[in-house]
Amino acid sequence: MKSTVSAAGLGRSWIVAAAFVAALAACDEGPGGIAVPAEATIDQLDVSPDSVLLTTGQSTTLVVTATSADGQPVSNFKATFASSNRGVATVSVAGVVRYEGPGRAVVTVTAGGKSATSIIGAQ
């Protein structure tokens, strides 16, 4: 392995670079390409619980699941959450719902162009 370090502290290694180029050349996924799995399309989005009764100040965490058209679970998707009435229920970016006061709110979860809802009410 031939390595050098510049005066600025930058290192360089030719064997590592050559091995990386050789690995790319051996890949049979097109000219110099690496196979990267396509992101699965979400066909169904579910949220649990779909309704919950809480007391003022109480919180619960919504669990979101996504499945593809062939029924397989989809992972690594980004979900967003929104409350229809923040005076009744707030929701964090992590899906933690806090009941703020009297009334009813609908929390909508969206991911991959699909949505699901959870109804939040008073206990």
Confidence of residue 123 (pLDDT cuts 50, 70, 90): confident
Residue pLDDT, tens place only, 60-91: 999 999 999 999 999 989 999 999 999 999 99
Mean pLDDT of 41-45: 96
Whose CA is closest to 99, among 50, 62, 64, 53?
53
Listed in order, the ranges of the chain carrying CATH 2.60.40.1080 are 44-122
- Residue 57, amino acid: G
Mean pLDDT of 104-109: 98
Give the pairing type, strands 89-91 and 59-61. unpaired
Confidence of residue 39 (pLDDT cuts 50, 70, 90): low
Give pTM, 2 decimals.
0.68
CATH class, 44-122 region: mainly beta
